[in-house]
Amino acid sequence: MTEIPEHLLKRAQAAREKAAASEAPAEAPAAGSDAPADPRIPAHLLERSKARKAQAEGGGAVAVQEKVASVVAAPAGGGGVPLSAGPGGHTQRLLTVVKSGSIQDVKASPVDKVHTWPHLLAAEFVAALACLAFTFFFSIFVNAPLLQQANINKTPNPSKAPWYFLGLQELLTMFHPMVAGVTIPGVGLIVLIFAPYIDKNPSNKPEDRKFAISLMTVHLMFWAVLVIIGSFFRGPGFNFTLPWRDGIFFEL
């Protein structure tokens, strides 16, 4: 149980002593036949004194009912005791004697979230530095020369798009341009956009996100296969060829 502060205990003791002192002179005139009541004594204290006297003389049940009726009927501004009053008519609020720590739950509940700064941005900055370092050292050991100046009178054969567009060029050899250039890429992008709304599992574990991971894997493998075929299995005239038989017709 929460310990009551010392100053509240002293205030309650003083209030009880004051109430006892005010009840003592109220009972003396009540013992007489028609002694006048002291106007300084509150009405509810006089009613309480009469009820106790009537109870002592044998009319306990009736006196108690009269006492309750008189207290309830007493107006709030006329000194009546509120219905929520405690022993002795005290009306201290519980919030003044209860410590805040016992009624407030300050224990933080764990959540699966972190702040953008520094957790996310720090990891992204380190990843960007790692990619920059890899590109820098890779360019030292691997030469990437430019091709000769373009000749408008001579079209290279085969004429291939950059590797990141070779998948789309490979689709153009299989389907109508409307299907290969608009329908298939558009359907793929729409499915990827709606994937988070279809698979709403908040878990980051691969075994819990089978739908999303399977969808992304199929998308990447489909595009990677098209790029590989267009890079190494297409020769002059963009015809199908075998790289181990006719060579590789691909330049960065």
The domain total for the chain is 3
Mean pLDDT of 222-243: 92
User: Which pLDDT band, with edges at 50, 70 and 90, does 30 fall under?
Assistant: very low
Least confident span in 38-42, 84-88, 157-161, 242-246: 84-88
Residue of 53, 85, 51, 79 lying closest to 67 (CA atoms): 51
* Residue with the two structure tokens 């017709």: 249
Q: Is the pTM of this model over 0.75?
A: no
User: CA 102 to CA 126: how far, in whole Å?
Assistant: 46
Q: Which of 202, 186, 196 is nearest to 216 (CA)?
A: 196
The 10s digit of each residue's pLDDT in 199-220 is 888 888 888 888 888 998 999 9
Cis peptide before 185 (omega within 30 of 0): no
CATH number at residue 210: 1.10.287
Give the pLDDT band (50/70/90) at residue 125.
very high
Q: Give a yes or no: residue 1 inside a domain.
A: no
CA of residue 153 relative to chain centroid, distance: 65
pLDDT of residue 70: 59
* Mean pLDDT for the stretch of residues 83-111: 57
3-class SS of residue 11: helix
Q: Are residues 19 and 89 in the same domain?
A: yes
Tens of pLDDT, residue by residue over 35-71, are 555 666 777 778 888 888 887 776 555 555 565 555 5
The answer to whether residue 80 is domain-embedded is yes
Residues 236 and 162 occupy one common structural domain: yes
Q: In this structure, are 37 and 123 located in the same domain?
A: no
- Cα(211)–Cα(200) distance, rounded to whole angstroms? 10
Could you list the residue range(s) of the whole structural domain that residue 82 is in?
6-101
pLDDT tens digits, one per residue of 136-194: 999 998 887 777 888 888 888 888 888 889 999 999 999 999 999 999 999 999 998 98
